[in-house]
Amino acid sequence: MTTLVIGGGWSGLAAAVTLVQQGHAVHLVESAKQFGGRARNVTWQGKMVDNGQHIMIGAYTQMLAMMQLIGVDTAQAFQRLPIDLAIHHPNYSTLQLSGKSRLPWPWSLAWNLLKSAGLNSLKSLVVLQKDIPRLLVNKDITVLEWLLDANQPQRLIEQLWQPLCLATLNTQVDKASAQVLAIVLRDSLGKDEPTADLLIPTQPLGSLFPQAAAEYIRQHGGKLSRQTRIADIVTEEGQISGAITTSGQFIDSENIIIATGPDQTAQLLTAHLKFPRPSQTPITTVYLQYPAHYRLPKPLLGMTGTMSHWLFDRSQQHPGMMAVVISATGPHDTMSKEALVQHVCMEVHQLLPDFPDKADEGFVIREKRATFECTVANHQNRPACKTRIPGLWLTGDYIMNAYPATLEGAIRNGEQCAKLLLSHLTSSKL
Ligand SMILES: Cc1cc2nc3c(=O)[nH]c(=O)nc-3n(C[C@H](O)[C@H](O)[C@H](O)COP(=O)(O)OP(=O)(O)OC[C@H]3O[C@@H](n4cnc5c(N)ncnc54)[C@H](O)[C@@H]3O)c2cc1C
């Protein structure tokens, strides 16, 4: 009995890997030319870049475990660095969220915060951290409500919590789920040092997981079809019987995992199920090519009070290349690509006067539906993997788990969905 997986993003691939690893037959169909979905390779002037700059952290334990399972050498695939973020703001001195110090974790983090933002900021961070257990057992509120309840100073809100919330939840503090942010903080900064480590990919995203996962599935007898779009799923007597491609081909299957993004899933389910389609929000990445010798003082700089949010040094892959990330919506959405490149170049120059005010080349990628908006309501309504239609399962970063839309969430859900399906098949045989 072959399970059909619709969608070859990180979640669909993780589901298919888990199924074939257990000896289960799989056919994975992907509408695009390549696997990877929202975390894939793009070519710019002959150079392989990511469709959007991604950052992973040591807390992505299931992502790392799955990569190891399929034979990726994670020590080679990532440059693993202790968290070391410098967050700049036009009105405040630079805040250091950094584990770099001779002190052991978490004292190193506390010491760097104390030095860069003062005792009041450190005390406020401790207050917020201590409030996490209480927050998690109560009704969810917005991040801003939580920050105000916990008397966070304006500086910390502007210079730390707003940028961290945008970076991790891709949602503004006045809408974002406090419980999701709290879990992100607990599982990254609140544990031992390795969970807070930054994992900087040394390879383009497509080479990091999707290509290796596809190879693993193939080697374990799975079938892969690219450039094959599913138009609809088919049920017989209320049970899954297969799917139809846009070219009219019927694919016979009693079990289907839909692993597409929420909009495409909503489309596929229109005639079959009520689906709580979450609102989605963009991420813009601006790649800037400077002369080869340019480097940032740290691999990652935070920028606040500017249109640019994060500045990444991509020199390891392409000497002199920087990536500027702008989360969520804002005035940058309506700017022409040329004007946006010019604007972010100027902001980089203002922050780092050694950088020229113009890059040699600039390239803008706007991912309009980068992630679901991690609002209180969207988080509450995240659907489960199992649906009420026998044989129909869902996965993707938006499916219910404790995390926002991340690669870790996509992989966790994919693996979990495959395991639930397998245990369901085993129990129905008994
Ligand atoms: C610019 C950007 C930056 C990001 N930054 C980070 C980050 O720093 N850290 C982090 O952890 N996460 C980040 N994310 C989020 C992360 O990329 C996603 O959470 C993850 O890739 C989602 O994977 P998925 O498999 O759930 O969905 P998708 O990647 O959307 O996969 C769905 C797949 O289904 C295919 N498909 C759709 N419809 C059909 C159909 N009808 N038939 C067949 N196939 C179909 C699509 O082509 C796609 O390949 C970022 C995302 C973007 C866009």
Q: Which atom of ligand 1 is nearest to the CA of 51?
A: 1
Residue type, 21: Q
| CA of 260 relative to ligand 1 center, distance in Å | 8
Question: Is-above-0.85 flag for pTM?
Answer: yes
Residue of 49, 54, 67, 256 with the most ligand 1 atoms within 8 Å of its CB, for mutation = 54
The rounded distance, in Å, linking the Cα atoms of 16 and 10 is 10
Question: How distant, in Å, are the alpha carbons of 12, 118, 122, 353 from that of 152?
Answer: 40, 13, 10, 32
| CA of 38 relative to ligand 1 center, distance in Å | 3
The rounded distance, in Å, linking the Cα atoms of 210 and 36 is 5
The residue whose CA has the least distance to atom 41 of ligand 1 is 230
| CA of 39 relative to ligand 1 center, distance in Å | 6
pLDDT for 189:
85
Q: Which of 49, 50, 430, 424 is nearest to 240 (CA)?
A: 424
| CA of 211 relative to ligand 1 center, distance in Å | 15
Residues 277/268, Cβ–Cβ less than 8 Å: no
Q: Which of 308, 260, 197 is nearest to 29 (CA)?
A: 260
| Ligand 1 pocket residues where CB is under 6 Å | 6-12, 29-32, 37-39, 52, 54-56, 229-230, 259-261, 264, 283, 285, 367, 370-371, 396-397, 405-408, 410
Q: Which atom of ligand 1 is nearest to the CA of 264?
A: 38
| CA of 89 relative to ligand 1 center, distance in Å | 31
Phi, then psi, of 65 in degrees rounded to 5: -65, -40
Domain ranges of the chain: 3-39+205-278+375-429, 90-196, 280-372
| CA of 402 relative to ligand 1 center, distance in Å | 18
Q: Which atom of ligand 1 is nearest to the CA of 407?
A: 11
Token pair, residue 267, equals 């489309």
The residue whose CA has the least distance to atom 35 of ligand 1 is 7
| CA of 248 relative to ligand 1 center, distance in Å | 26
| CA of 223 relative to ligand 1 center, distance in Å | 21
Q: Which atom of ligand 1 is nearest to the CA of 228?
A: 43
The rounded distance, in Å, linking the Cα atoms of 166 and 176 is 9
The residue whose CA has the least distance to atom 11 of ligand 1 is 406
Residues of the chain with pLDDT under 70: 193
Residues 369/282, Cβ–Cβ less than 8 Å: yes
The residue whose CA has the least distance to atom 34 of ligand 1 is 7
Q: Which atom of ligand 1 is nearest to the CA of 245?
A: 42
Region 3-39+205-278+375-429: CATH code? 3.50.50.60
Q: Does the CA dihedral 155-161-166-167 come out positive or negative?
A: positive
| CA of 360 relative to ligand 1 center, distance in Å | 30
Class of 280-372 in CATH: alpha beta
Residue of 38, 57, 85, 227 with the most ligand 1 atoms within 8 Å of its CB, for mutation = 38
Residue of 407, 408, 411, 417 with the most ligand 1 atoms within 8 Å of its CB, for mutation = 407
Residues 289/242, Cβ–Cβ less than 8 Å: no
| CA of 17 relative to ligand 1 center, distance in Å | 17
Other residues' Cβ atoms within 10 Å of the Cβ of residue 36: 26
